Amino acid sequence: MTAKNLLVELFVEELPPKALKKLGEVFAQTLAQSLKTQGLASDAAAITPYASPRRLAAHVTGVLAVAADKPVAQKLMPVAVGLDASGNATPALLKKLSALGADASVVPGLRRENDGKADVLFYDSLAKGATLAEGLQKALEAALAALPIPKVMTYQLQDGWSSVNFVRPAHGLVALHGADVVPLAILGLTSGNTTQGHRFEAAKSPVVIADADSYAETLKRDGAVIASFAERRAEIERQLAAAAAKAGSNLKPIDDEALLDEVTALVERPNVLIGTFEAEFLAVPQECLILTMKANQKYFPLLDASVGNAGKLTNQFLVVSNIAPADPSAVIGGNERVVRPRLADAKFFFDQDRKKTLESRVLGLAKVVYHNKLGTQGERVQRVCAIAKAIGAQLGGEAQALQAEQAALLAKADLLTDMVGEFPELQGIMGRYYALHDGLSADIADAIEDHYKPRFAGDTLPRNPVGTAVALADKLETLVGLFGIGQIPTGDKDPFALRRHALGVIRMLAEGDLDLPLDALLANAAATFAAVEGFKANNGALADFIYERLAGSLREQGYTAQEVDAVVSQRPQRLGDIPKRLAAVRAFAALAEAEALAAANKRVGNILKKAEGTVAAAIDKGLLQEAAEVALAAALAEVKPAADAAFAKGDYAASLQSLAALKAPVDTFFNDVMVNAEDPALRANRLGLLATLHLAMNQVADISKLSA
């Protein structure tokens, strides 16, 4: 059977741009995987996805016209049921064979095999391989069903009676195996070898595809379309860089991967042009101008890359046009006219907002609902103020506490400004600008912007202690409040982004090495909800939630599951100590004595769990009888003070490594001493000795977790 390359294209109306890249990948991968599963393509087949605003396509190498026949083993029934005493087929066996399209002539060739219970009859046959027409029809249906489309539309076909459901109306289907058309039918379409090119600039209409391998080149030549998403994206990047260099030697387009993907999904033949706007608009905060150009117009603002001005917005921008006229002035002029009202709106909002101080807006937060069980934004701000003030006092005394309280009071005020009402993404950012305009200090202004940080994985942390206090307070209020009314994330559902808030708290405490015990932080935050009806502090579950996020984050950073469990299971209150504890555990695990001590610690823990009542970590030397328990007590008396002193200084590695001296006496103790002695006093003293050992071993981490 000769293999040829396959090309399938579905031609549709403009697809959702933010979903296009994923749609193209899923379409190609699902189609190819179905062909592989049916034996029409090998596992080594190369898959090339194509996706443009008006088409989804896939090129698959080495596709067979007919799949190879497959051997099929059909389990029939036990020999005792299928054959009589003379070895002839019973009616039950004949009926089963008839259902499979066979008759009594195959009975002598039936295979016998024991399935562990009895001898069973098997019918071995060859299943005809699928033809490409059958298999590709199935694969295409699977590919369309797998597309990640949140919502489909229903539209009528040309007959005026029938209707189909798809993300956008489909108008053409190409299916070529080499140069041969594969007959397919879907969405009211039948396959052929013609498609449509660019709406305005195609050289030919329709575009005839001679064979599967000439698809991309023919579409580019005759249809003025770059079919490959990746190739079109690379071409836009190249043109952006070239246009920026043309506009000015120190200029560069804004770096935004999501915008680049979206623009790639909007054009079939990119043509980058340079536009300008009035320099007077640069008096508006550049974040506002950049956002309106990116979000509303899909433009790439040009930034100054020169030393001293790096990242500063200029009054030029780049447009990725879908047409390339000989004279682009009309296109450029049209885009400049369109962007001007947008920038004027931003300037108007900025000017109007500055007529009122942030402080004057705070009372208005009492009219904004935060959560129907937790009250208004005004009530929330009061809680955040109290938490931030307490944290500020712990971090920097009374002066910092007052700054944190003031920043927390004003942090949400920009939610009531016109600019943030138009562009919610600018909350915090605009608060900083308005705070500076009101004459507030840079520390407070920065804290207002930074209290949302870190907003996502890899985001920067607040730039000063005041911002850290307010950011911690804001996130702790959210976590404690929502856990207190039962809004706990389950599975993939996390509507209030509590996982992100928890990771933000972890990062600030750990990376900032802040001397703030976690349980005390949660208790302090919970106290601010005393007046909230229906609130019931759930700090135990919240602490579990935070430590689970911490463990996951540490594993992602490259620590082993054993190392992470050893440290996190102890629930250290000072998260800034965790990197040092992990380093100490890793160093301890490298010691020759580590494995034996970890196993012994695990054994001690199990013994103490089974003991009746609470075991006090106390030793009565007068009750030490066996030489091994005397030796262990003496070793503990020597090792524990050194380990405690190292732990108190934060030298966790030295604290753990000092335990190596306990290996020999611990081994001897378990070999020679019966812990559960009949004498209650002896038994209690030996349990007390083990409890003392357990405490000494587990100050830094639970080393039993290192035991295999």
Mean pLDDT of 294-307: 91
Alpha-carbon distance of 379 to 647, in angstroms, equals 42
Query: Given this model, what pLDDT does residue 648 score?
Result: 87
Label the pairing between strands 153-156 and 163-166: antiparallel
pLDDT tens readout for residues 471-508: 999 999 999 999 999 999 888 888 899 999 999 999 99
Check whether residue 171 and residue 264 sit in a common domain.
no
576 falls within a domain: no
**Together in a domain, 158 and 44:** yes
Do 49 and 188 belong together in one domain?
Answer: yes
- Tens of pLDDT, residues 91-111: 888 898 888 888 888 878 888
Domain match, 258 and 279 both? yes
Confidence of residue 519 (pLDDT cuts 50, 70, 90): very high
Distance CA 502, CA 282 (A): 38
Q: Please give the backbone phi and psi of residue 286, each rounded to the nearest 5 degrees, phi first.
A: -65, -25
What is d(CA 524, CA 593) in angstroms, rounded to the nearest whole number? 42
Task: Give dist(CA 527, CA 83) in Å, integer.
Answer: 80
pLDDT > 80? residue 297: yes
**Looking at residues 684-698, what average pLDDT do you find?**
80
- Check whether 307 has a pLDDT greater than 80: no
Closest by Cα among 476, 542, 483 to 508: 476
Say whether both 17 and 118 belong to one domain. no
CA atoms within 13 A on the CB side of 161: 1
User: DSSP for 603-634?
Assistant: HHHHHHHHSSSPPP----GGG--SHHHHHHHH
CA–CA distance, 34 with 338 (Å, rounded to integer): 47
pLDDT at 81 > cutoff 90: no
User: What is the domain range of residue 532?
Assistant: 366-558
The Cα 631–Cα 693 span in angstroms is 13
Task: Give the confidence band of 708 by pLDDT, cuts at 50, 70, 90.
Answer: low
Number of structural domains found in the chain: 5
Residues 443 and 505 both lie in one domain: yes
The 3-state DSSP class for residue 532 equals coil
Rounded to an integer, what distance in angstroms lies between the CA atom of residue 420 and that of residue 424? 5
Assigned token pair, 102: 């066979």
| pLDDT of residue 432 exceeding 60 | yes
Strand partners, 251: 304
195: left (phi over 0), alpha (psi -120 to 50) or beta: beta
pLDDT value of position 184: 95
Query: Is 288 inside any structural domain?
Result: yes
In this structure, the answer to whether residues 464 and 524 fall within a common structural domain is: yes
17 and 155 assigned to the same domain: yes
492 and 447 belong to one structural domain: yes
- Whether the CB-CB separation of 598 and 704 falls below 8 Å is answered with yes
Concatenate the DSSP letters of all residues of 486-521 into one string. T---BTTB-TT-HHHHHHHHHHHHHHTT----HHHH
Distance CA 558, CA 217 (A): 45
Residues in the chain: 708
For residues 213 and 240, membership in a common domain is answered with no
Residues 6 or more apart in contact with residue 166 via CB below 8 angstroms: 12, 144, 152, 153, 155, 187
- Give me 462's structure tokens: 């607040």
549 in a structural domain: yes
- Domain match, 137 and 254 both: no
Is position 358 within any domain? no
Residue 574 maps to a domain? no
pLDDT tens-place string over residues 155-204: 888 877 888 899 999 999 999 999 999 999 999 999 999 999 999 999 99
Is the pLDDT confidence value at 1 over 70? Answer: no
pLDDT of 341 reads: 95
Q: What's the burial of 407, exposed, middle or buried (CB within 10 Å: 0-12/13-18/19+)?
A: buried
Is 571 part of a structural domain of the chain?
no
The CATH number of the domain where 632 resides is what?
1.10.730
Binned at pLDDT 50, 70 and 90, residue 675 comes out as: confident
3-state secondary structure of 483: helix
| Token pair of 334 as six digits | 């049209």
pLDDT per residue as tens digits for the range 228-254 = 999 999 999 999 999 999 998 899 999
Q: Which of 81-90, 364-373, 591-600, 624-633 has the highest mean pLDDT?
A: 364-373
| pTM score of the predicted model | 0.81
Distance CA 216, CA 228 (A): 8
Which has the minimum average pLDDT: 257-271, 526-540, 579-593?
579-593
Among 353, 386, 421, residue at a domain's last position: 353
* pLDDT for 589: 82
Reported as a single tens digit per residue, the pLDDT across 266-286 is 999 999 999 999 999 999 999
Q: What is the pLDDT of residue 680?
A: 81
Q: Is residue 655 domain-shared with residue 693, that is, in the same domain?
A: yes
Query: In 10 A of CB 301, how many CB atoms?
Result: 22
User: Per DSSP, which regions of 47-168 are E strands?
Assistant: 47-52, 55-64, 70-78, 111-114, 119-127, 153-156, 163-166
Determine the Cα–Cα distance for residues 599 and 589; give it in Å rounded to an integer. 12
616 in any annotated domain:
yes
CATH of the domain at 434: 1.10.3210
Tens-place pLDDT, residues 155-165: 888 877 888 89
Spatial contact of 7 and 72, defined as CB atoms under 8 Å apart: no
Does residue 568 belong to any structural domain of this protein?
A: no
